[in-house]
């Protein structure tokens, strides 16, 4: 998985001079009036006198005295208004790196200047690098067909900083995001469940992350009954058969904290018997974004190897197919936790997969030191409608008491991977209550989540009940903090599931929170 290597550069005058190791300079700044470096300022001033666009939009400037003869000036616009944040740096970096690449640069130097001196922009340079890598990423199928060097030609990106950056941390995070983008953004045959599992095994081969793949149909039917029901119609097609992928990282030293992740990996979602219509099936190969993000975070851990931390993940890679053996609404299926689930809508399949995964993780978390559980999924259109491009964190009472989501949201803002905290309420639990004694919980209503009141909150209530986590909330003898993470709005750029690049959200926020940057 090649991506431009990040290199620390601390001598600006030497780095930007003709004949240095760099072949272009990228300047990201709100303006250029503050610049102390005469080479940069004089180059920009000269172009500004003949082109009014300079300082108003990203531009490539001819710079005879600067490395590579190229200066890409990417203005950010204002940064100090109450609604501005570090993503303005990321947005500028995306435009600038594409311009530098298209101009022929292969080893550009990037510097960020003139920023507000506050915590919000403390990691602006690192965010710029991550934004640049996001813009340069090309889908796995393209790289396999055309060659990585052909379509991703950049070799390195220099980062000018007066102090030292933790380059190993930064590259570990980008490796994780790249894995997440590859798994999420790849078409449904290339990343069908068995091949999804294969890709994980290859990615973690020889690393500190142990991989176990469950493929036996009888075992899946017995131990993951809700998950198996979702994949039931795909079982007769070998290349579509479901998989559970278990990933485990154990850091060196005494374990101080345990994290448990369930990832929704619907490799294609037809909607099942409640078939998606009116063109809404396009892009449903990306309904595996939650599982992809979980695997991506595990790759961060594998690369950076933080001490004192243990992380266990279970990924459900399943195809929700349509056919004669598809599960249907009104079925009652008993979950791994022994909860009788009445199916309300087969297009609400992701929560079924997650419930069984969470139930298994719950059993481990009960005996673990300082545990926190997460489910990560592209779950509801309602989350995207409510929060747009922001990750939705919906937590139980135990997680709220620990401020789990608040901490993730705060650090996500600083690192350009923002989220919104969404509370679980009594109405959510009432919404999925059983209507008869035949079942214990309703999986969903039969309408679109986007037009259902509290459409992204009530699934967390279902997950708590169906997984058995309801018995481990803050009012119990053994509380387990649990956060449901809905990335339906944040998982792809601009929210276009079919065409835009996956973002890898919330990999950066998780890495910053649990890998030493909080």
- 257 pairs with which residues across the strands? 309
Residue-wise burial string across 415-438, b where 16 or more C-beta atoms lie within 10 A, e elsewhere: bbbbbbbbebeeebbebbeeeeee
- What long-range pairs does 205-211 form, CB within 8 A, spacing at least 24? 207/302, 207/303, 208/249, 208/250, 208/251, 208/301, 208/302, 208/305, 209/247, 209/248, 209/249, 209/298, 209/299, 209/301, 209/302, 210/247, 210/248, 210/249, 211/245, 211/246, 211/247
Is residue 276 annotated as a catalytic residue, yes or no? yes
For 150-283, strand residue ranges (E) read 156-160, 209-214, 243-250, 257-269
Tokens encoding 170: 């930064």
Is residue 435 annotated as a catalytic residue, yes or no? no
Omega of the bond leading into 506 within 30 degrees of 0 (cis): yes
* Active-site annotation holder among 7, 190, 221, 276: 276
| End-to-end CA gap in the chain | 27
Torsion of CA 359, 261, 276, 268, to 10 degrees: -110
Query: How long, in residues, is the chain?
Result: 518
* Active-site annotation holder among 101, 286, 351, 362: 351
**Sequence-distant (≥ 6) Cβ neighbours of residue 274 within 8 angstroms:** 329, 345, 346, 347, 446
Q: Which residues are catalytic?
A: 276, 351
């Amino acid at each position: 998985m090649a991506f431009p290597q990040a290199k620390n550069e601390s001598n600006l005058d030497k780095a930007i001079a003709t004949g240095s190791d760099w072949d272009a300079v990228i300047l990201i700044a709100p303006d250029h009036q503050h610049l102390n470096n005469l080479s940069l300022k004089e180059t920009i001033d000269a172009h500004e006198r003949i082109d009014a666009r300079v300082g108003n939009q990203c531009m490539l400037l001819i710079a005879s005295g600067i490395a590579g003869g190229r200066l890409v000036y990417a203005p950010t616009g204002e940064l100090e208004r109450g609604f501005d944040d570090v993503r303005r740096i990321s947005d500028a970096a995306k435009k600038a790196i594409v311009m530098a690449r298209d101009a022929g640069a292969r080893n550009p130097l990037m510097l960020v200047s003139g920023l507000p001196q506050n915590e919000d922009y403390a990691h602006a340079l690192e965010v710029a690098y991550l934004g640049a890598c996001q813009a340069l990423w090309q889908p796995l199928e393209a790289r396999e067909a055309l060659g990585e060097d052909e379509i991703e030609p950049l070799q390195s990106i220099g980062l000018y900083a007066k102090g030292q950056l933790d380059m190993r941390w930064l590259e570990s995070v980008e490796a994780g995001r790249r894995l997440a983008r590859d798994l999420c953004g790849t078409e449904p045959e290339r990343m069908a469940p068995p091949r999804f599992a294969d890709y994980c095994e290859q990615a973690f081969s020889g690393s500190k992350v142990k991989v176990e793949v469950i493929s036996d149909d009888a075992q899946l039917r017995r131990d993951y009954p809700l998950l198996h029901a979702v994949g039931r119609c795909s079982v007769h097609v070998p290349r579509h058969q479901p998989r559970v992928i278990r990933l485990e990282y154990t850091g060196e030293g005494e374990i101080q904290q345990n994290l448990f992740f369930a990832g929704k990996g619907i490799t294609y979602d037809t909607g099942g018997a409640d078939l998606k219509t009116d063109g809404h099936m396009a892009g449903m190969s990306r309904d595996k974004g939650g599982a992809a993000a979980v695997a991506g975070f595990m790759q961060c851990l594998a690369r950076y190897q933080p001490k004192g931390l243990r992380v266990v993940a279970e990924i459900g890679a399943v195809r929700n197919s349509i056919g004669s053996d598809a599960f249907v609404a009104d079925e009652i299926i008993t979950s791994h936790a022994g909860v009788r689930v009445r199916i309300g809508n087969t297009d609400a399949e992701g929560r079924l997969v997650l419930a069984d995964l969470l139930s298994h993780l719950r059993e481990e978390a009960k005996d673990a030191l300082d545990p926190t559980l997460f489910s990560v999924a592209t779950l509801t259109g309602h989350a995207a409608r409510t929060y747009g491009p922001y990750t939705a964190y919906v937590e139980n009472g135990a997680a709220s008491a620990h401020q789990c989501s608040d901490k993730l949201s705060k650090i996500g803002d600083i690192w350009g991977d923002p989220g919104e905290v969404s509370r679980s309420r009594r109405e959510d639990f009432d919404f999925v209550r059983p209507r008869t004694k035949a079942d214990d919980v309703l999986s969903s209503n039969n309408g679109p989540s986007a037009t259902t009141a509290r459409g992204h909150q009530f699934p967390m209530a279902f997950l708590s009940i169906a997984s058995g986590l309801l018995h481990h909330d803050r009012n119990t003898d053994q509380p387990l903090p649990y956060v449901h993470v809905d990335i339906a709005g944040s998982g792809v750029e601009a929210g276009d599931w079919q065409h835009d690049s996956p973002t890898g959200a919330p990999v950066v926020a998780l890495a910053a929170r649990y890998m030493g940057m909080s």
